[in-house]
Each structure stands twice: as structure tokens, then as C-alpha cells.
Amino acid sequence: MTDVLALIPAGIDTYRQPVVYMTEDCHICRAEGFVAQTRVRIDLRGRSIIAELNVVTKGAWLPSDHAALSMSAWTALAAREGDRGRFSHPEPAPSASQIRAKAYGARLTAADFTAIVQDTLAHRLSDLELAAFLTACTGDRLDEAETVALTRAMLEAGDRLDWGRARVLDKHCVGGLPGNRTSPIVVAIVAAAGEIIPKTSSRAITSPAGTADTMEVMTPVDLDEMAIRKVVEAEGGCVVWGGALNLSPADDHFIRIERPLDLDSTGQLVASILSKKAAVGSNHVLIDMPVGPTAKVRSHVAAAALGDRLVAVGHHFDLNVVLHVSDGSGPVGYGIGPALEAADVLSVLRREARAPQDLRARALDLAGGLLDIAAGTTGAGRGIAEAILDSGAAEAKFMAICDRQGGFHEPKEAPERAEVLAPHGGTLRAIDNRLIARIAKLAGAPRQKCAGVRLHARPGETLAPGQPMFTIHASTKGELAYSRAYAELHREVMTIAEGPP
Amino acid sequence: MTDVLALIPAGIDTYRQPVVYMTEDCHICRAEGFVAQTRVRIDLRGRSIIAELNVVTKGAWLPSDHAALSMSAWTALAAREGDRGRFSHPEPAPSASQIRAKAYGARLTAADFTAIVQDTLAHRLSDLELAAFLTACTGDRLDEAETVALTRAMLEAGDRLDWGRARVLDKHCVGGLPGNRTSPIVVAIVAAAGEIIPKTSSRAITSPAGTADTMEVMTPVDLDEMAIRKVVEAEGGCVVWGGALNLSPADDHFIRIERPLDLDSTGQLVASILSKKAAVGSNHVLIDMPVGPTAKVRSHVAAAALGDRLVAVGHHFDLNVVLHVSDGSGPVGYGIGPALEAADVLSVLRREARAPQDLRARALDLAGGLLDIAAGTTGAGRGIAEAILDSGAAEAKFMAICDRQGGFHEPKEAPERAEVLAPHGGTLRAIDNRLIARIAKLAGAPRQKCAGVRLHARPGETLAPGQPMFTIHASTKGELAYSRAYAELHREVMTIAEGPP
């Protein structure tokens, strides 16, 4: 039924998709009837993976009695040089038929979602099957009961932190606004007020920076549970990368497929947010929903529907969800990209005159909202938050958190820069979130920490003809040239209306 | 904006997905910010492809100043040793937003479908995007106007044959019944009656044999348009593989993604069938729809809905579609697998006493239906078809067609065989189409022409305890053992009821 081959690393990075390379004349390929793109099961010391087969021409680079594994396959199997893996045909994933049922419009049960989550984590579902599942959930195709079931399945598949406190605060932003890096400021203010706020953040997947990428410019974020506990016990808050913890681990798999497809599902989004929040052990969550034509939430109707679902599903997990709808018409602050956003964050915490006032105001709104939740007040929190920020207590708390996470570093400036000039004069009416994000990504963000875009004007301000609209920052001349060429081709990134503002 | 690297073949078969291998320290990876699983555009002499990037460890097997291409990428670019390709970031596929709209439930226009088909053929859509498109069309999510538009977009993207005749007949089976190999018999009878029937067939994708695989056991099927014209002009009919022609070429891409997902979309299925029939130049098409719990069409309600759509859409392309609903409760004939099915076909054509009577009856029904369409009669065709078969004229016509296609060969028997015995006595009530197909595939079908399953009993017949239910045929001992082990684990493939029939 199974057969054995020596395993070697292929030295090929296929990202998260496990791939196995076997030669066309290998005895297992011949006996088992494996052909290219077959899914193959490999067992080694109690672990097993399902990998996609790529067939290597005889004599190319792989001996016939060896199978080479992509980096992700090698890591998932915990293989070592000299290991011999057992090869077999995988059974179809048990949940494939549930995914099919969902594509036809069926309602799924709690057991169905558990099966899908388990098969996802065990790599038993192909990327195509995951794409079908996520497409079948698009829009409002998961109802409330299904959303609760999916959230629970995702939560129960991972670890849960417990802080032993009646009140653990948290915040989340539904995303889509470049530069909207309020978390480090909010955590600093709320922790300075004496509350507990263990914030885990994600790295960028399709955006120019995630909070974890921005924070990493200033301090280590890749902490394990023990290290996080030490930071939070000492300082009340942290801003760390959630990926080193096993919190709602299926979410990363879903996001990996969902983001390139740019599909949103209300149910998926709610399950993604709330399973992570419940897993991290928070019980009061303020959710920021920027609404705007190029933001993730595009209308107030959509925001209301998403908000209702978040609150309703939160009840099932003892999560008190409070909503904050904000303006999502354009980027926040001046910087887009990890180091440029970190500079904005520091500028606000340091109360500099040049600090972006919109970022400051948003952070105060959110910190105030959390302090209201904590004190049971309505509106009093914002003044307290402002006092904490203006007193320097938030800056001191932020530096203390960074010290506990492993030390603070000042963000560095990019070596390569180019200005993009206004084609004509007038009032800046709007900035396209998606285009400006793409320009920052082409410049190298978030892979190159210093790369991105610094805006010189904000909506409502006037621009003279030939005045710089923004500066592109990059770490290499190639990336700078590429991003700049794209920006020149897409001047509609900024809408400049002629005449008075 | 773009950069250049020397191209070499990687000697890796990734099936149809184009993959490019570049080293981690390659200057383009660094300058352009390419990381694993990025989609990369490669231009060479006016051709361009979008390939997925896999990053190779420095010093592994690829020089830093070279990019290696998977076989499909090498072929698609028509690359030659010494070529230098230009590398750049691809723009998102123009139709990606239409696919997203469909996932949210929007109706698509004719222009939208044309864009999706064009982007599919140009490899501008990723496999995930194609999976999202097909999932979004599942069930009845394409209406009639959308189905017409998709059919037209698929038809117009390829070539069209023109036979210069008012009446060109064709048949199609909606599939799902192992062993249901009527086409060679139907073509022989109808061509012997003096009609024109240029039949193109597909190879198996997820089934143990396609008509092209079965026919290939007996005669070459990989003919170009000129060769097909010669066969049809001389003999009135042919049974060839459609893949060498450029008829509705997007269909193959859709099927490649759709089949492993096992999703059916009425609109997709209708567009797939009718775009191919219109492209091949036929104008009267008899469509066989076997209905059964494990067939592709599972109920008469589903058959009626599919049939109505086929007839309605056919009108838009001057196709007279006639439906034939048949019993789809189990496999047809004794053999499942290319050579075993070919043996059944020959046995019917040769009027052998042991010939499978169900295959004979089905072929006569369909040939009779086509002769009725041709003559404008109702029911008279079957007697004529039977007379042609019984006279030996169909056998003679079949041998003449094979001679014209390149010569006839007798099917060969498999070297390895094993019987699977009835666990208890009783009446055989049902055979599970999907399980018996899987057993045949695990034995090596269709890759190994001689592999598959030969049934020893048909529903309604009685089996004694320990009597053989079927024999597995394989070309290697490994495949035989694997298929046999699966069959022993899945005795429910045959439902045997104790007591009288």
C-alpha cells in the first residue's frame, strides 16, 4: 500500500504549499501511478503531509531513488537528512463534500465547520478546495449560526490564553486604510491608564505594512507566550506578532487564499476577528471600522451589517464588542510602509509639532473608547486619553513596553527617494487607498522596512502645479524606478480639483 | 521597468501551471522584490506568460544569472536554449474584478465573459481565481442569458470547423457512467447509414477512461484538422481526440480546475458542451443524460432543468439539441478502463454472443435517435440502426474509419489480474459508479491502457458466496495490490441483497 524513498531538501521555496519532487523513472511514480500535480501523502515518524507532486526529468538534478521536498514540506514533516518517507495516495479530505455542499448553497453544521478547519490545518485540502470554500462563503452566504459555528471551530483548533482578570481590553481595525497605525499609541495610552491590553497583530499579507511590521521597526515582535506574559504582567500591554502563537491557526490558511482573491465574506471576517480575540483571552473589544469608497468597508450600510454580526456573534463567546465607525476616505498620517508609519507613531507619542493630527485624533478616539468601556462611562474616556498622551505618560509606557519586548530602535530612513509632483494645481480632494498602497508595495514595502510612500498633502489642502504630492522611499534603485514608473502611470491616485477648496 | 535573465528548462513537470525558478540572490528577485509564490510576467519574442515564482536556495542547482522554467512555462513561451526573457510584475488580470462580482452574486455581461475567457487563455488568471470563478457559477448561478454569453465567448475564442453540409450530426453523453462507451458504435452505425458525424472526444480527466482513451487502444486519435477532414470525407464519420484542435480552448482550463473540485454548474456544463459542438460544426446534437444516484445527473428534475437549458441555449447557435434520458444507475458493459471498454465495443460491433447487451441497446437507442433526426421520423430509426449493426455494416464502417485514422489494433490483455469475491450470496442490487471508477483508476486506468476492472455480474443477477464480483486488471503488481486493497476496504461498491431477486 505504501512505499519508501529517501528524502532530501529541494532548496525550493514554494511559500506555504508543500511540493514533493520525484523523478519520472522513480519506482514509486511508476508503481503508484503518480503523475504531475497528483496529491501525494508522505508519512514520517508520526507526522504526515499531503504534497503536490512535481515530476523531474530523469538525470536533471534529482537521483531516482530520492524524493526532494520544498521548504514548507520539509519543515512540516520535520524531516532530517537521511530520513526515509513513506509515500501513498491520500484519501479525499472528509470535508471536501461539505465544501461542495456550501458551493451549492447548503447551510453547514458545527460538525461540518470543525471538519473543514481540521482538514485545513492537516493540509488535507488543496488550495483550490480552500478557494472554493472561501468563494462559497462570499458576501452574506454564512448566516449567524454558521458564523458562530465557524468561529468556534477556529477557536477550538488552537490555544487560548487566560489572563485571570475580569477585564482584558483589546482593539481591532477592520483594515483597508494605509497608514492607520493607531495600535501602538492606543496600547501605550490604555496600559498607562492601568488597564490590561495584550495586543497581538498581524504582518502584512497584501498591504504595505501590518502593525507587526511597523512595530518590528522599533522593537522585536516575535515573542512566545511566556515572553508575552512577562511584558504584559510588567507593563499591562504589548504589541506583538500573533503568528508565533497558535491562536486560531486556521485563520492564516484562509487569509493566504482569501487575500489574493480579494473576496470578503461577512461570516469569514467575523470568525477571523472574533476567534483571534477570544483566543488571546480578551473580553472587551473595540472594533474600528473605517468606511470609505476604497476602504475594506465601503458603505455605512455594510458597516452596520458587519457591526451587528460582530456584536451578535461576540455574545456567544462572552466578548463585549463595541463598534467605532470612522472616516475611511483616505490614508491616515503621512507615512505608508513600516518605517514611515513607525515615524508617524513616534511623532504622535513625542507630541511633535509636525505629528500627523489625524493619526493622533484617531488614536485618542479609540483609546478613549476603551477607557469608557473600562470605567463604564460614555465620552469621558477621550479627555483622560488626551491627558495621558499630552503628559508624556503614553510615550514613557511605549518605551517601557519596547524595552520589555527586547529593546527600542529608531526607524531608519530609506537610501533611495524620489518625489512625485502634482500635474496641475488645485485642491487635493481624495487619495485612492488601493493605488497608494500599491505604489508603496512596488517600492518594496513591507519586505524592505524603510520602503514606502510619504505623503506631502492631505485631502482639503491645496497643491501648486509641480509641488511634490508624495515621496517614494526605497532601498534599491530598481525598486524606486519601478514604483515611480507605476506612480507616473497612475496619477489618479490623487484627485486634484482646480479652483477654490 | 523590466529586467532580463537567461532561460533554461528546469526539467520539472508542474502539469499545466507555469512555474519559474529563480535563485534567492538573483538580481531580479532583489531589485523587483519578487518572493516565493509571486506571479511574474515573462516576455519572449512577442509571447508572454504569467508564471508562479518558486525561489531556489543559492548554490542548489540553479546559477544566479539564470531562470529555470517548468515544462508548461517553457512550452507556452516557445523558449529555446540560449534565450533571454524579460521579467516584470504583471498587472492584475482585467477580469479579476468581474470574477469577484460574480462571487458576490452579480450577473455578468457578454463583455465580462469575453474578458474572463481571454484572461484564462492568456494565463493571466491564477488557478485560485479560476477556482473562485467556477465556484461562483456552481449550481444554477448562471442564468440563460449568462450561459449564452459564456458559450459565445468560449466558442469565439477558438477555431470553427465548417463541413459545408446542411446536416451534420453529433452526439454527447453528459457522463458519469463508467464503461458507457457508445460513441464508437453510434458513429459506425450513423456513418454506415450515409450521414455525416465528425465526433471529437475527450481524454479522461478524473474518470478511468474517456472515449479518446478507449478509441486510442484501437486506432490513432491525435489527428489534426486536415487529417480529420480526410477521414470524414471518405467515411462520413470519425472518432478523434478533440484536444489537437483549437475548439473552445478555454474549456480545458475550466475543466482542469472544475473536475478536482467536483463542482457542477448548469451554465458551465451547457457552455462547455455547446461551445464544443458549435465549434466542431455540427448542427443536430443528440445528448444522452444518464440519470442515477451516483451518475453526474442525479435526478429527473435535474435532467429536465439541464435539458431545458441545453435546448434553449442551442437555439442561439443554430444547434438543434435533442435529449435522450437514460438509466444511470450503474456502469454499462463489463469493462471499465480503455482496453477493457474497447473489448466491449468490438464485441458489440462483431455481434458476439458474449457482447454486453446493455451497451448494445444504448448504442442502438442513440444511433436510432440520430437517424430519426436525420429522416424527420419518430422511432423508425432504431430498427434501421439495428439492421445496420446486425448486417455487419457497422463493423465494416468502424474498421474503415480506423484504417483511415491510421490503422486498427486489437486491445491487449493486462499482465496482472486479481479477482474480488462476493462476501456473501444474494442478488446484486447496485454498483456504485464512483467507487468502481476509483478502483479502476487505482489499478492504473487510463494511464495504463490495459488497466481497469472487468465486472462479472450486473444488477439483477445473483451471486453465490465467494463468486467473483469483478476482476482487477493492472500492468504492474504494485498497482494491482493497491487497487485490490482499496476494493477490499470498500466492499460497498456492490450492494448484494440476501434473499430472492
- Domain with residue B109: its CATH number is 1.20.970.10
Instruction: Tell me the pLDDT band of B1, cut-offs 50, 70 and 90.
Output: very low
- ipTM confidence: 0.84
Shortest Cα–Cα distance, A494 to chain B (Å): 20
Considering the domain architecture, whether residues A227 and A360 belong to the same structural domain is answered as yes
Tell me what the mean pLDDT of segment B116-123 comes to.
91
Which residue is listed with cell 501602538? A184
Judged by CB atoms closer than 8 Å, whether chains meet at A135 and B139 is answered as no
Chain A residues 215-254 with CB within 8 Å of chain B: none
Instruction: Find the residue in B nearest to A483 (Cα).
Output: B1
Closest by CA to A437, choosing from A264, A320, A296, is: A296
Considering the domain architecture, whether residues B135 and B199 belong to the same structural domain is answered as no
Which grid coordinates belong to B23? 535563485
pLDDT at A499 over 70: no
pLDDT at A309 over 60: yes
Which grid coordinates belong to B325? 434520458
User: According to the model, what pLDDT value does residue A94 have?
Assistant: 86
State the first-to-last Cα distance of chain B, in angstroms, to the nearest integer. 75
Closest by CA to A369, choosing from A348, A384, A351, A350, is: A384
Give domain status of residue B271, yes or no: no
Instruction: Find the residue in B nearest to A1 (Cα).
Output: B482
Q: Report the residue count for chain A.
A: 501
Per-residue pLDDT of B437-485, as tens digits, reads: 989 988 989 889 999 999 999 888 999 999 999 999 999 888 898 889 8
How many other C-beta atoms can be found within 10 angstroms of the C-beta atom of residue B475? 21
Tell me what the mean pLDDT of segment A27-49 comes to.
80
Considering the domain architecture, whether residues B104 and B174 belong to the same structural domain is answered as no
Shortest Cα–Cα distance, B274 to chain A (Å): 23
The amino acid occupying position B155 is L
Choice between A260 and B32, residue whose per-residue pLDDT is larger: A260
Q: How far is A425 from A411, CA to CA, in rounded Å?
A: 33
Q: Just list the catalytic residues of B.
A: 264
Q: How far is B480 from B468, CA to CA, in rounded Å?
A: 16
State the first-to-last Cα distance of chain A, in angstroms, to the nearest integer. 75
Considering the domain architecture, whether residues A400 and A421 belong to the same structural domain is answered as no
Choice between B329 and A149, residue whose per-residue pLDDT is larger: A149
Which chain A residues have a beta carbon less than 8 Å from that of B485? Answer: 1
Closest by CA to B37, choosing from A12, A338, A73, is: A12
Give domain status of residue B258, yes or no: no
Closest by CA to B445, choosing from B187, B217, B186, is: B217
Closest by CA to A440, choosing from A486, A478, A477, is: A486
Chain B residues 424-453 with CB within 8 Å of chain A: 442, 444, 447-448
Shortest Cα–Cα distance, B242 to chain A (Å): 22
Give domain status of residue A184, yes or no: yes
User: According to the model, what pLDDT value does residue A262 have?
Assistant: 82
CA distances from A195 to A173, A188, A225, A287, B48 (A): 19, 10, 19, 17, 57
Say whether residue B132 is in contact with chain A using an 8 A CB cutoff: yes
| Cross-strand pairs, A427 | A462, A497
Q: How far is B498 from B463, CA to CA, in rounded Å?
A: 10
Chain B residues 380-419 with CB within 8 Å of chain A: none
Query: Using CA atoms in the order A380, A381, A382, A387, what is the torsion angle rounded to 10 degrees?
Result: 100
Partner-chain residue, chosen from B55, B103, B139, that has the shortest CB–CB distance to A104: B139
- What is the pLDDT of chain A when averaged over all its residues? 92
Tell me what the mean pLDDT of segment B5-25 comes to.
88
Shortest Cα–Cα distance, B57 to chain A (Å): 5
Alpha helices in B410-460 (DSSP H): 433-442
Distance of CA A410 to the CA centre of its chain: 24
Which chain B residues have a beta carbon less than 8 Å from that of A438? Answer: none
Q: Which of B133, B156, B179 is the last residue of a domain?
A: B156
- Inter-residue contact A486 to A442 (CB < 8 Å): yes
User: According to the model, what pLDDT value does residue B33 have?
Assistant: 66
- Inter-residue contact A302 to A340 (CB < 8 Å): no
Q: How far is B445 from B439, CA to CA, in rounded Å?
A: 9
Choice between A415 and A46, residue whose per-residue pLDDT is larger: A415
Shortest Cα–Cα distance, B36 to chain A (Å): 5
Q: What is the CATH number of the domain that holds A424?
A: 3.90.1170.30
| CB within 8 Å of A284: residues ≥ 6 apart | A167, A168, A169, A170, A319, A320, A322, A370, A373, A374
Instruction: Find the residue in A nearest to B101 (Cα).
Output: A263
The amino acid occupying position B192 is A
Which grid coordinates belong to A64? 531516482
Interface test with A, best of B13, B258, B268, B473 (most A CBs within 10 A): B13
Which chain A residues have a beta carbon less than 8 Å from that of B134? Answer: 132
| CB within 8 Å of A413: residues ≥ 6 apart | A339, A450, A473
Give domain status of residue A379, yes or no: yes
Percentage of chain A beyond pLDDT 70 is 98
Which grid coordinates belong to A380? 469621558
Q: How far is B161 from A160, CA to CA, in rounded Å?
A: 64
What range does the domain containing B119 cover? 96-156
Give domain status of residue A332, yes or no: yes
Radius of gyration, CA atoms only, chain B: 25
| Cross-strand pairs, A55 | A22, B13
Which grid coordinates belong to B399? 474498421
**A264 assigned to active site:** yes
Q: At what angle do helices A380-390 and A393-405 cross, to 10 degrees?
A: 70
Which grid coordinates belong to B41? 510576467
Choose the most confident range, by mean pLDDT, from A121-130, A250-259, A414-423, B288-297.
A414-423
Q: Which of A355, A380, A405 is the last residue of a domain?
A: A405
Closest by CA to A287, choosing from A300, A273, A301, A297, is: A273
Rounded to 5 degrees, φ, ψ at B304 are -65, -40
User: According to the model, what pLDDT value does residue B31 have?
Assistant: 64
Give domain status of residue A302, yes or no: yes
Counted domains in chain A = 3
Per-residue pLDDT of A437-477, as tens digits, reads: 989 988 989 989 999 999 999 888 999 999 999 999 999 88
Q: What is the CATH number of the domain that holds A370?
A: 3.40.1030.10
User: According to the model, what pLDDT value does residue A449 have?
Assistant: 95
The amino acid occupying position A180 is N
pLDDT at B501 over 60: no
Tell me what the mean pLDDT of segment B292-314 comes to.
92
Rounded to 5 degrees, φ, ψ at A53 are -90, 130
Considering the domain architecture, whether residues A318 and A386 belong to the same structural domain is answered as yes
- Inter-residue contact A146 to A113 (CB < 8 Å): yes
Say whether residue B70 is in contact with chain A using an 8 A CB cutoff: yes
User: According to the model, what pLDDT value does residue B88 have?
Assistant: 83
- Inter-residue contact B176 to B329 (CB < 8 Å): no
User: According to the model, what pLDDT value does residue B329 have?
Assistant: 85
Which chain B residues have a beta carbon less than 8 Å from that of A19? Answer: 54
Choose the most confident range, by mean pLDDT, from B138-142, B251-255, B324-328, B344-348.
B344-348
User: According to the model, what pLDDT value does residue A169 have?
Assistant: 98
Which grid coordinates belong to B229? 477532414
Per-residue pLDDT of A203-257, as tens digits, reads: 887 789 999 999 999 999 999 999 999 999 999 999 999 888 899 999 988 988 8
How many other C-beta atoms can be found within 10 angstroms of the C-beta atom of residue B462? 15
- 3-state secondary structure labels for all residues of A363-429: HHHHHHHHHHHHHCCCCHHHHHHHHHHHCCHHHHHHHHHHHHHCCCCCCCCCCEEEEEECCCCEEEE
Per-residue pLDDT of B66-117, as tens digits, reads: 999 999 899 989 999 889 999 887 877 889 999 999 999 999 999 999 999 9
Shortest Cα–Cα distance, B70 to chain A (Å): 9
Which residue is listed with cell 512535481? A54
Q: At what angle do helices A338-349 and A393-405 cross, to 10 degrees?
A: 140
Alpha helices in B201-249 (DSSP H): 211-218, 225-235
Per-residue pLDDT of A67-105, as tens digits, reads: 999 998 999 899 998 899 998 878 778 899 999 999 999
Percentage of chain B beyond pLDDT 70 is 98
Judged by CB atoms closer than 8 Å, whether chains meet at A13 and B138 is answered as no
Choice between B14 and A322, residue whose per-residue pLDDT is larger: A322
Instruction: Tell me the pLDDT band of A415, cut-offs 50, 70 and 90.
Output: very high
Is A95 strand, coil or helix?
A: coil
Considering the domain architecture, whether residues A383 and A429 belong to the same structural domain is answered as no
pLDDT at B359 over 90: yes
The amino acid occupying position B44 is L
User: According to the model, what pLDDT value does residue B86 have?
Assistant: 92
- Strands A47-56 and A39-44: what pairing? antiparallel
DSSP state, A139? B
Q: How far is A287 from A366, CA to CA, in rounded Å?
A: 9
Instruction: Tell me the pLDDT band of A482, cut-offs 50, 70 and 90.
Output: confident
User: According to the model, what pLDDT value does residue A235 have?
Assistant: 98
User: According to the model, what pLDDT value does residue B499 have?
Assistant: 66
Considering the domain architecture, whether residues A355 and A421 belong to the same structural domain is answered as no
Considering the domain architecture, whether residues B108 and B13 belong to the same structural domain is answered as no
Considering the domain architecture, whether residues A310 and A344 belong to the same structural domain is answered as yes
Chain A residues 459-488 with CB within 8 Å of chain B: 476-479, 481-482, 485
Distance of CA A290 to the CA centre of its chain: 16
Considering the domain architecture, whether residues A423 and A400 belong to the same structural domain is answered as no
Say whether residue A29 is in contact with chain B using an 8 A CB cutoff: no
User: According to the model, what pLDDT value does residue A15 have?
Assistant: 76
Judged by CB atoms closer than 8 Å, whether chains meet at B138 and A138 is answered as no
Judged by CB atoms closer than 8 Å, whether chains meet at A13 and B444 is answered as no
DSSP state, A244? G
Tell me what the mean pLDDT of segment B164-174 comes to.
95
The amino acid occupying position A64 is S
Q: At what angle do helices A127-136 and B127-136 cross, to 10 degrees?
A: 40
Chain A residues 71-110 with CB within 8 Å of chain B: 89, 96, 100, 103-105
Give domain status of residue B70, yes or no: yes
Tell me what the mean pLDDT of segment B42-49 comes to.
90
Considering the domain architecture, whether residues A185 and A317 belong to the same structural domain is answered as yes
Give domain status of residue B207, yes or no: yes
Say whether residue B34 is in contact with chain A using an 8 A CB cutoff: no
User: According to the model, what pLDDT value does residue A1 have?
Assistant: 42
Q: Which of A38, A55, A88 is the last residue of a domain?
A: A88
Considering the domain architecture, whether residues B325 and B425 belong to the same structural domain is answered as no
Q: How far is A491 from A489, CA to CA, in rounded Å?
A: 6
Which chain B residues have a beta carbon less than 8 Å from that of A89? Answer: 442, 482
Q: What is the CATH number of the domain that holds A58?
A: 2.40.40.20
Q: Please tell me which residue in A251, A264, A365, A432 is annotated as part of the active site.
A: A264
Per-residue pLDDT of B190-239, as tens digits, reads: 999 999 999 999 888 778 999 999 999 999 999 999 999 999 999 999 99
